[in-house]
Structure 1
Amino acid sequence: MSEQQLLLLLKKSDKDALKMIYLEHRNPFVNFARKFNVSDEDILDVYQDAIIVFQEKVIQGKLDNLTCSLQTFLFGIGKYMLFEKARKNNKKVTDFPLENEAYNYKEMSDSFIQETPNEFQLLLQKGFAELGKKCKEVLTLFYYRGFTIDEITEELNYKDKNVVKSQKSRCLKQLKEMIKS
């Protein structure tokens, strides 16, 4: 089922669609969020809150022009919610931009909704489309699905994690060069 079909079902308050989205993105979100040194319990709480915000935005029709994937949107909401949770607990989280500023995650999530992609997004899409199959797999698993280097090593049957690190580095360099040219 496509993301667009899921959004249409979710807009009609379809519980199965919500459950499908929840389960599909939970583990990648947990893997992604572990980078921020937050407990797994807090990560799951934030993920559930992000799902609620996501559902509200779909029902309100605010995601009709979503220009990123559902996962990117959920991760964006969740990232700022994690930051807020860490800030409230007086924990310093260095991986977040502008760590001293408070975020309104509902407003921040609106930044993912645009009529048309900006110039950089178009260049990124074009460059990604020109990458080889292996590069696409590694970058998609790492950035889109939230896999760790060890999980990618296992998923793609690489010799060891150093091979994956090198592959990822080469692919990013290649993508950056494509964008610059």
Structure 2
Amino acid sequence: MAETRGGSSANLSDGNEVIERIRKGDQSVISAIYRQLRPEFLSWAAVRFRVDQDKIVDVFQESVIIFYRNVAKGKLTELNISVKTYLFAIGKNLLLKTIRDEKVQLDIDELPAETFKDWELEKVYEESHRKQLLSNALDALGPPCKQIILMFYYREFSMEAIQEQLEYRSEAVARTQKKRCMQYLREVLNTKDKKQ
């Protein structure tokens, strides 16, 4: 079996060969995976996710560890895709979870400060009178806007996850739609407030 340390590359397109090598105790294949895929993962993730470089490095390392453990524990016994595809899928899920958990650069800062001067979404939802007011306003917006606002602000989905779930053409289209929906929501709430 060829060593990867001497400069030759491991064949990472054959997932089953890589799994077999790991199961036989060939540690060099993990080093090869790390060395060969790390630069591409870092640049790919930096373009797709608004997460700092250190976090991306951590996620890549964790992805490699998860892959290794899945093979070592017998959870992953066959792989009909490349190791790169498998690792990038793990990394994508970890990054999306990171964005949800840490609320990385939420787009709420795109809205003018006065948007939340009179009402803040979380506070409104906690107050029974305002909760009903907001619920009625969301219903008045209709399904697309209601879904986007609830997914983003309450379920803490990333814009990428919203784009995929609601099948928008791109993340930019989803972002534009969210801004429009927030504008409509402000108008509906302001109208209802004036009537009170």
TM-score, normalising length: structure 1: 0.49
TM-score normalised to the size of structure 2? 0.46
Rg larger for = 2
Structure with higher RCO (Cα < 8 A, 6+ apart): 1
